[in-house]
Amino acid sequence: MSVTTTLIEISVIMSIMFAILFFMYYKYLTGKTEADVLADENNYYDYGSYLRENKRKGGFLSTNNFILNDSKSIGMRYIMTALTFFFIAGSFGLLMRVSLIQPNPTLFSGREVLYDVLTTEHATLMIYMWALGGAMGIAYYLLPSFLKVKADKYGSISSTAYWIYLLGGVFILLSRTSTRWYFYPPLALQLNPYGAGAYNWLAVIGLEMIFIGITIAAIVVVRMIILDRGENVPLTKMPLFAWSVLFTLLMFLASAPFLMSALVMLFYDFFNPIFFTGVAGASSPLSFTELFWIWGHPIVYIAILPEFGLIYEIIPKFTGKKIFSYTSGVIGLALLMPLSELVWGHHLLNSGFGLQWGLFFSTASFLVVIPSAITIFNYIASLWSADKIRLSTPMLFVVNGIFDFIIGGITGVMQAMLVVNIQVHGTYWVTGHFHFIFMGITTGIIFASVYMLWPTITRGRKYDQHLATWHFTLTAIGSFVMSMGWTVGGFLGMPRFVSGYFARFQVYQDIAIAGGVIIGIGQLFFLANLIKSLLDEPSTTTNNAFEDEYTGDENEVGSNEPEPLKNPTAVGGE
Amino acid sequence: MNKKMKIEAMWIIGVLVVLAAAAGLNVYTTGLPAFSIATKETSGTHINPSNHVIEVQGEQWAWVFTKENSTGIHTCTDSLTIHVNTTYTLVVSSTKGSHKLAVIHDLYIAQFDIQVYAVPGQNNTVTFTPIHTGTFIFECVEYCGYDHYIMRGYLTVVK
């Protein structure tokens, strides 16, 4: 077969493909124009919201979420993506945990690199796809009704941002990188299975894409909060969740450029190692670690701030009273934003920067406690002053989250002290510290919100209370056991991110494995609940408890005591 | 000032008191003789291995300790023997070994409260004085590739 024949075949195939693509685009455009006209006639600002509200389309597992471009559909997309990646990364976590049952590698014996890959993927995907994506999804879903937005004009931009973000996550998954979520350079530049993994460059591209996607989405959401609020929602009476999202995204926009530029330099290093190699003439690898942690510390607040805001929204639904103090709630969230940007150096206390550096950053780290304490006080006071608290599943997650956050916060203050930091830096203590917070606040509150949104997500089904209670109980107990095993073992010197360890640490590892397995079993109850709901017939309206307060009447937001829930059964009430 | 604000102010003052105490304790403990934090060696002041100065090189994946005494230079890998009640200075850096680039490691001796990063192209120093005899563990706690977990060993303190 000659070259000419091949070329002709290729061009024919390409012409046919273009014809098909053009036809699809034509059909899409016609349908969109018709829907636009219809939406315009019915006073809707875009066809997505029109279709969502009038045709009862676009629920959970509906492809419409991925085609329609209104904020609610995009929110659902992010939530579905986050849940999917939660289960992927969670099973990675479970697998690597079980592989640590013996001091010497057993499950991955001779293939220890598999452990490194699983751990890196677990951390990276959990942070960027679950914590960040889940918060982004709930923000996109709730804010339009919380703020009664006038116009939702940036759907196509948000949609583009979502696809860039999703592709970035998939790239990280495909890259099988084993460089730890830090991407510390001389190791990240070793493109072989013994270093960072052969396809680490793909992970760098993927991470950069996640940043680009979330940056675009952050600008859209910040614009929605500041400029597109309804006339009767003044800034000073905005729901606390909107405040928390605003602060989170401003924090993101302020700190992300540091790592974005560092990643570009790292990518250049793959071809021409001049930036972070540490050889004579190049800059020190520590310069990358500085750039990384200027971003890397705010990310851990980005993962909890929206959830703090969600707790403020959830508590009144179950106590029937307003939150204890709106003003100190806003102050607490607002202070976290600048203070968390000041403390990143505490991740590098032992790198040779010396005593003065250490004292500055450890003192700054103490200051972060103040806004956290204000916030926690506000929660406890709200619960304290309530006449009656209904302990349904979302509320149980909230109470457990507050409990876990107190433990995680205290261990955090302890490790900010220089003398303790030398003892616990790089050990499982740190892993325990942030899993207390990430399991209690991030994961717990996103799940609480999913339960609150259940009738909407599943198009009119209630969740099974028994399964939900089991899900909560196992998640809470499992994460406590796991994190406690790590915290105690880490204090005695158990290093983290190792596929084998000294035999003296086996008891702590085994406790943590037990906890991890309990968490894993707990998540199966969530899946069972989801499947059960989808098999059931619809039994309630598609309203959810989050938005009840904000739909319908023309009252100013926040001016009244919250009303009793319109359909209490939807959130698992009596 | 209503009751609500009073409770809130009391809470915040309580937190501030605890934090001030913690910050004071933090500064106080850094002044104790046993305390030593990793500090970058300035150029021109490099000290060569001697009786009390131990050069530590991290490579993928082993720790190499170099000591010098009257009988000559001694090098040992993943193990170290030192004397009790003697003040030692560790000079820690990273070498590339058989690999193309040196990477970041982190030497951690849990029972001595010593932790110091091994950064390519930089010498970090830290001092410590063992006061008990026995066998202690040391580990690498900064992920450095495939066999990161075997970068560990025993440190023996003798009379």
Q: For residue range A182-231, what is the model confidence (pLDDT) as tens digits?
A: 899 888 888 888 888 889 999 999 999 999 999 999 999 999 999 888 88
Q: For residue range A336-361, what is the model confidence (pLDDT) as tens digits?
A: 888 888 899 999 999 888 899 999 99
Collapsing DSSP to helix, strand or coil, B139 comes out as strand
* B111, B114, B120 member nearest A278 (Cβ): B120
Q: Which of B12, B19, B15 is nearest to A328 (CA)?
A: B12
Q: Which of A156, A147, A148, A135 is nearest to A75 (CA)?
A: A135
pLDDT value of residue A556: 38
Task: Report DSSP state, residue B135.
Answer: E
Task: Specify whether the CB–CB gap between A485 and A508 falls below 8 A.
Answer: yes
- pLDDT > 90: what percent of chain A? 51
Cα nearest neighbour of A328 on chain B: B8
Q: For residue range A82-102, what is the model confidence (pLDDT) as tens digits?
A: 999 999 999 999 999 999 988
CB contact under 8 A, B114 and A422: yes
pLDDT value of residue A45: 66
Domain range B40-158, its CATH number among 1.10.3720.10, 3.90.1150.10, 3.40.50.720, 2.60.40.420: 2.60.40.420
Calpha distance A477→A236 (Å, rounded): 39
Residues A109-132: what's their mean pLDDT? 89
* B7, B15, B25 member nearest A369 (Cβ): B15
Q: For residue range B54-65, what is the model confidence (pLDDT) as tens digits?
A: 999 998 888 999
Chain B stretch 15-74, residues whose beta carbon is closer than 8 A to a beta carbon of chain A: 15-16, 19, 22-23, 25-27, 29-30, 32, 35, 37-40, 60
pLDDT value of residue A310: 94
Q: Identify the H or E element spanning A122.
A: helix A112-125
CB contact under 8 A, A186 and B104: yes
Task: Specify whether the CB–CB gap between A526 and A447 falls below 8 A.
Answer: yes
Q: For residue range A350-390, what is the model confidence (pLDDT) as tens digits?
A: 988 889 999 999 999 999 989 999 999 999 999 988 888 88
Task: Specify whether the CB–CB gap between A404 and A440 falls below 8 A.
Answer: yes
Q: Report long-range pairs for A533-537 (Cβ below 8 Å, ≥24 apart).
A: A533/A454, A533/A458, A533/A461, A533/A462, A533/A463, A533/A464, A534/A60, A534/A61, A534/A458, A534/A461, A536/A461
pLDDT value of residue A165: 95
* B16, B121, B142 member nearest A278 (Cβ): B121
pLDDT value of residue A163: 93
Q: Identify the H or E element spanning A267.
A: helix A240-271
Q: Tell me the helices (H) and strands (E) count for chain B, helix number first.
A: 1, 11
With bands split at pLDDT 50, 70 and 90, how would you rate the model's confidence at A54?
low
Number of Cβ atoms within 10 Å of the Cβ of B112: 22
Choosing among A176, A190, A322, A506, which should be mutated to test the B contact, i.e. which has the most B CBs within 10 A? A190
Backbone angles phi, psi at B70, to 5 degrees: -60, -25
Chain B stretch 92-131, residues whose beta carbon is closer than 8 A to a beta carbon of chain A: 94, 99-104, 106, 108, 110-111, 113-117, 119-122, 124
Chain B residues within an 8 Å CB radius of A496: 141
pLDDT value of residue A537: 78
CB contact under 8 A, B39 and A277: no
Calpha distance A485→A482 (Å, rounded): 5
Q: Is the pLDDT of residue A155 over 90?
A: no
CB contact under 8 A, A366 and B22: yes
Count how many pairs of residues, chain A against chain B, have C-beta atoms within 8 Å.
Answer: 194
pLDDT value of residue B145: 85
Which region among A44-48, A97-101, A317-321, A501-505 has the lowest average model confidence (pLDDT)? A44-48
pLDDT value of residue A61: 63
Sheet holding B88-94, edge to edge: B39-40, B124-128, B88-94, B53-59, B62-69, B72-77
CB contact under 8 A, A350 and B115: yes
CB contact under 8 A, B100 and A363: no
Cα nearest neighbour of B28 on chain A: A419
From A326's Cα to the closest Cα of chain B, the distance in A is 12
Q: Is the pLDDT of residue A569 over 70?
A: no
Q: For residue range A60-78, what is the model confidence (pLDDT) as tens digits?
A: 566 777 878 888 889 989 9
* Polymer length of chain B: 159
Amino acid at A153: K
Cα nearest neighbour of A114 on chain B: B146
Q: Does A202 lie at the interface with B, CB-CB under 8 angstroms?
A: no
pLDDT value of residue A560: 39
Calpha distance A68→B95 (Å, rounded): 55
Cα nearest neighbour of B101 on chain A: A186
Name the more confident of A538 and A157: A157
Task: Give exposure, A34-60, as e/b (b: 16+ Cβ within 10 Å).
Answer: ebeeebeeeebbbbbbbbbeeeebbbb
With bands split at pLDDT 50, 70 and 90, how would you rate the model's confidence at A56?
low
Question: SS in 3 state form for B66-114?
Answer: EEEECCEEEEEECEEEEECCCCEEEEEEECCCCCCCCCCEEEEEHHHCE
Calpha distance A69→A44 (Å, rounded): 13
CB contact under 8 A, B146 and A113: yes
Task: Specify whether the CB–CB gap between A224 and A143 falls below 8 A.
Answer: yes
Choosing among B17, B39, B41, B142, which should be mutated to test the A contact, i.e. which has the most A CBs within 10 A? B142
Task: Show the CA angle centred on residue A293, arms to residues A277 and A422, nearest 5°.
Answer: 90
Residues A246-273: what's their mean pLDDT? 92
Calpha distance A45→A148 (Å, rounded): 13
- pLDDT > 70: what percent of chain A? 92
Tokens of A244: 């928390």
* A180, A351, A373 member nearest B117 (Cβ): A351
Q: For residue range B121-151, what is the model confidence (pLDDT) as tens digits?
A: 888 999 999 999 999 999 999 998 888 888 9
The two most distant CA atoms of chain B are separated, in Å, by 78
Tokens of A359: 């004292």
Chain B residues within an 8 Å CB radius of A356: none
Average pLDDT in chain A: 86
Q: For residue range A466-478, what is the model confidence (pLDDT) as tens digits?
A: 999 999 999 999 9
Calpha distance A135→A133 (Å, rounded): 5
Calpha distance B94→B85 (Å, rounded): 28
Calpha distance A438→A388 (Å, rounded): 28
* B27, B108, B111 member nearest A426 (Cβ): B108
Task: Give exposure, B129-149, as e/b (b: 16+ Cβ within 10 Å).
Answer: ebeeeeebbbbbbbbbbbbbb
CB contact under 8 A, A187 and B144: yes
Tokens of A37: 């006209």
CB-count exposure of residue A341 (10 Å: 0-12, 13-18, 19+): middle
ipTM, interface predicted TM-score of the complex:
0.91
